[in-house]
Amino acid sequence: MGAATAPVLRLHKEEEEERRGVDGSSSSSNGYKLVPWLSWHDWEFVRDSLFSSSPLIALNRISTWRSRGCVPDLVDVTSSIVEIQLMDPHFNFTGDHTNHVIYSDQMLAMLYCMSILRLVNCVVEKTRKRSKFSIAQAADAIGIPRSLIDVRHEGSHRNLPALPVVRDSSVKALHWLKCYYWDPQKRLIPYQGNGSANIRKEIKSKFHELSYCLKAKQNPQPGSLLVKGKRGIHRKGLCGHTKFLPLMTGKFHSSKLRGSKKQITNTLKTLIQLYASFSSEVVSVLLELLLKALNSSDLVELPKNSQVAQNTHSLLDDWKLVITKFSNKEPELFLTLLKAIVDMIDAEEAMKYDLGRQHLTTSEHRVETGQIDNLSSLFAWLVGQIKGPKPFGCKDPAAEIKVSAAGIDISNAVLMELLRQCLRVSAFGNNQLVNSALHLAQLMGDSSLMDKLSKLFSVSLSNSDASEDIYSSVSSMSLLTQHEESICEAAKKLEAVKHRRQRSKVVKTRDDVGNSTRWVVAKCWSPCPIGMLPGDLGSSGRLPILEFVNDGNKVKISDNRGASPDTQLLDNSNVEKTNGKREASSDIQLLNNAISKKMRETVEGSESDGEDVLLPEGVKGRLMIGGVWKIVGEEELLAIESAVRILV
C-alpha cells in the first residue's frame, strides 16, 4: 500500500442531510419496525417450537436473530430461560443434547437467577416511568408474578436463591412471557389463521367500495340520484353488475359515503396496505372482478351489435378508474395484473392442449376458447391503457423515482419482461396478444425490436393458419406436404440451435480463461426490497430461501462433525469461542463448495449466448417439446435431428 492515496470521496454536506429530516430511530411514524425475522411465518414457527417439547430449533433461530442486533428483549429472555431448562435434568427433555445437561445445582441456580434478573430489568426498566414507582409497583402494573421480583432482589442484594425456587420461577416467567408477549403478538398478526377466504372477501369489498366512490365522485349529481340513475342503466341488461350494486347502495348510501375525497383516499390506502401483504390475492380478486365485468357483457352479446361493444367498454371503464388510481399509488399492480393474465392464458392453453388430446366436444372447446379470448382482450385493453391519457405509474413522476435515467430503464426493462411473457403465450397464435406485444414494443420505442416482432408474427401467424387448415383437414395430400414442410423447417431450426450451442461453448471456454473475477455486477437486476430477490415482474420481489441447500455433500459434512443441526447450539457453547468461529467458517466453506459444484452443473445444462433478447430467461438452451420448454443436451439434439432426417 502506497502513501496517502486517500481520494476525498464525494459527499453531500451533512447539513443537507439534516434537512432531509429523518427519523433515525428503528421504528418510524408509519408503524413499521425493524425486526430480525423474515416474515411472521418465521416468527410463528419459532413461537410454536419454543413452547413445544423440542425447542432446540427455535433456540438456534433466536440466536441467529440476536446476531442481527434487533431482537426484542422479551424474545431474547424467553429463549434464555428455555435454554436453561433444557440443561436442567429436572425437566427431563429428551434428545441429542442430553450430554449438555448440567448437574450442579449451584450452576443451574445461577443461570436461572440471572435470566430472571434480566427479565425483570428488561421489562420493568422499559415500562417504569423514571423512579417514581418502586420496581415492585411497576411489576405489579404489568402483572409480573411477585416471586420473580423477589428472586431478582434476593439474587442481586442477598444470597443466591435456592434452585427449587428459581426453577419454579422460571416456569412462572415463561408462562408470564407467553401471556405478555407471545400470545398478544400472535393475535396482532393480521388475518392470521383464517385462511385466505377472509382476506379475499375484504379485498373484494374494498374494491367495490373504491369503484363506487370513484363513480360517485365522477358524477356531479347528489348521491341518491346517482344511484337511481345508475341502477336504471344497469337494469337494462348488464346483469353482472346488478348483483352487487343494490347491495352497495344500501350499504354506502346509509352511511353517507358519497365518494368524498377522504373516503377514496382511505379505501385506496387500505387496498395498498392489503397489497403490501397479500399481493397475489389482491391481483387475483381484481382479475376476477374484471373478468366478471367482461363476462356479464358477453352474456348479452348474442345479438351482435355495436351497442353491446359500447357496453363492454363502459363496464370495463368503471374499473379503469379504479385501476388507474390504484396503480398511481402502487405502480406494480398494473404489471402483476398483466402477468397474472398471461399466466392464466398460459394455464388455459396448457389445459386446452391436454384436453385436445382427449378429443373434447366442440361446445367445451368453445367455452375454453371463450375464456382465453376474454383474457386476451382484457390484456389488450390493459396494455392499451398504458398509452392512455393518464399513464400508469412508471411514467407518473410522483410514483416513479426522480432518478430519471434509472427510471426509464426500469420501465423499459419491465415492458420487455411483459413482452416476453406475452410472446411466450402468443406462440399459440393469439392475435390479440400479438397486437399487444407490438404495442408494448412501440411503447419501448425500439424500432428494431418492432421489426423483429412483425417478422416473427408473420411467420407464426402463417403457422397458425396452417394448423387451422389441418383441423379442417382439407385433403390428405396437402396435409402431407405441410407436414413435410414443417419438418424441414424444424430440421433447419435444430441445425441453428445446434450451431448456436457450439458457438456459445467456444465463447464460454474463452471466458473461463480470462475470467478470475470474484465480484461481478449482477447482469440483470430489477428493483426489489432489500432482503429480497427480484421477482419476475414489478418491484415486489420474492422472499429468499435462506435454508442451507440440503444435498448429499451437506449431510456428509454434518456426519463428520458428529453434530446434527439440532445440537449445533449447545455444541458451540462448549467449544472455545475463537475455535468455534473458525470451525463454523470452514464448515461454510465446505458447504459452499458443494453448492457451487451443483451450480456449475446447472450452468452447463443451460448455457447460451444470451443473444436472444426475446427469449424468456428460462427458455435459453431449451426446446419446446409437447408444449413445454425442455432442456436439451447435445445428444438429445442429435437424436432429434436424426429422427427428423428419417421422416424427411
Candidates 144-152, 317-325, 416-424, 532-540 — which segment interacts with another protein by CB under 8 A?
532-540
Say whether residue 533 binds another protein (CB under 8 A).
yes
Say whether residue 543 binds another protein (CB under 8 A).
yes
How far apart CA 478 and CA 9 sit, in angstroms, is: 73
**Rounded to the nearest whole angstrom, what is the least distance from the CB of residue 530 to another protein in the complex?**
5
Say whether residue 63 binds another protein (CB under 8 A).
yes
Candidates 457-465, 529-537, 605-613, 626-634 — which segment interacts with another protein by CB under 8 A?
529-537
Question: Between residues 133 and 244, which has the closer beta carbon with respect to another protein?
Answer: 133
- Judge contact between 511 and 604, C-beta under 8 A: no
- Binder among 94, 103, 188, 361 for another protein (CB under 8 A): 188
Give strand pairing partners of 625.
628
**Rounded to the nearest whole angstrom, what is the least distance from the CB of residue 458 to another protein in the complex?**
36
> Residue-wise over 586-614: b if at least 16 C-beta within 10 A, else e?
ebeebbeebbeeeeeeeeeeeebeeeeeb
- Binder among 16, 511, 512, 576 for another protein (CB under 8 A): 16
How far apart CA 434 and CA 640 sit, in angstroms, is: 30
How far apart CA 124 and CA 525 sit, in angstroms, is: 47
Question: Among 451, 423, 445, 448, which residue's Cα sits nearest to residue 436?
Answer: 423
> Residue-wise over 286-299: b if at least 16 C-beta within 10 A, else e?
bbebbbbbbbbbbe
Say whether residue 579 binds another protein (CB under 8 A).
no
- Binder among 137, 310, 573, 642 for another protein (CB under 8 A): 573
Question: Between residues 135 and 479, which has the closer beta carbon with respect to another protein?
Answer: 135
Query: Which helix (H) or strand (E) element contains residue 163?
Result: helix 163-177
Cell of 285: 380478486
Question: If 0-12 CB within 10 Å is exposed, 13-18 middle and 19+ buried, where does residue 217 land?
Answer: middle
Question: Between residues 321 and 399, which has the closer beta carbon with respect to another protein?
Answer: 399
Say whether residue 588 binds another protein (CB under 8 A).
yes
Question: Between residues 321 and 528, which has the closer beta carbon with respect to another protein?
Answer: 528
Question: Among 207, 203, 206, 231, which residue's Cα sits nearest to residue 219?
Answer: 231
- Binder among 45, 51, 244, 548 for another protein (CB under 8 A): 548
Say whether residue 467 binds another protein (CB under 8 A).
no
Question: Among 325, 321, 315, which residue's Cα sits nearest to residue 275?
Answer: 325
Say whether residue 30 binds another protein (CB under 8 A).
yes
- Binder among 45, 51, 72, 288 for another protein (CB under 8 A): 72
Question: Between residues 521 and 648, which has the closer beta carbon with respect to another protein?
Answer: 521
- Judge contact between 270 and 326, C-beta under 8 A: no
- Binder among 74, 114, 355, 466 for another protein (CB under 8 A): 74
Say whether residue 20 binds another protein (CB under 8 A).
yes
**Rounded to the nearest whole angstrom, what is the least distance from the CB of residue 218 to another protein in the complex?**
26
- Judge contact between 409 and 375, C-beta under 8 A: no
Question: Between residues 103 and 519, which has the closer beta carbon with respect to another protein?
Answer: 519
Binding characters for another protein, 272-291, by CB under 8 A (x = yes)? ----x---------------
Say whether residue 403 binds another protein (CB under 8 A).
yes
Give strand pairing partners of 318.
none
Looking at 388-446, list the stretches that DSSP marks H as alpha helix, in order from N- to C-terminal side.
404-426, 431-444
Applying the rule CB under 8 A, the residues between 197 and 256 that interact with another protein are none
Question: Among 277, 287, 367, 294, which residue's Cα sits nearest to residue 330?
Answer: 277
Say whether residue 103 binds another protein (CB under 8 A).
no
Question: Among 275, 346, 304, which residue's Cα sits nearest to residue 539?
Answer: 275
Say whether residue 3 binds another protein (CB under 8 A).
yes
**Rounded to the nearest whole angstrom, what is the least distance from the CB of residue 269 to another protein in the complex?**
12
Say whether residue 176 binds another protein (CB under 8 A).
no
Query: Which helix (H) or strand (E) element contains residue 623?
Result: strand 622-625
Question: Between residues 15 and 635, which has the closer beta carbon with respect to another protein?
Answer: 15
Residue whose C-alpha cell reads 373504491 in the numeric block = 210
**Rounded to the nearest whole angstrom, what is the least distance from the CB of residue 548 to another protein in the complex?**
5
Say whether residue 401 binds another protein (CB under 8 A).
yes
Output the CA angle 20-26-32, nearest 5 degrees: 95
Say whether residue 131 binds another protein (CB under 8 A).
no
- Binder among 444, 540, 620, 640 for another protein (CB under 8 A): 540
Question: Between residues 478 and 592, which has the closer beta carbon with respect to another protein?
Answer: 592
- Binder among 39, 134, 481, 502 for another protein (CB under 8 A): 39
- Judge contact between 102 and 60, C-beta under 8 A: no
- Binder among 44, 318, 587, 609 for another protein (CB under 8 A): 587
How far apart CA 441 and CA 434 sit, in angstroms, is: 11
**Rounded to the nearest whole angstrom, what is the least distance from the CB of residue 518 to another protein in the complex?**
5
Residues in binding contact with another protein, number by CB under 8 A: 113
- Judge contact between 277 and 198, C-beta under 8 A: no
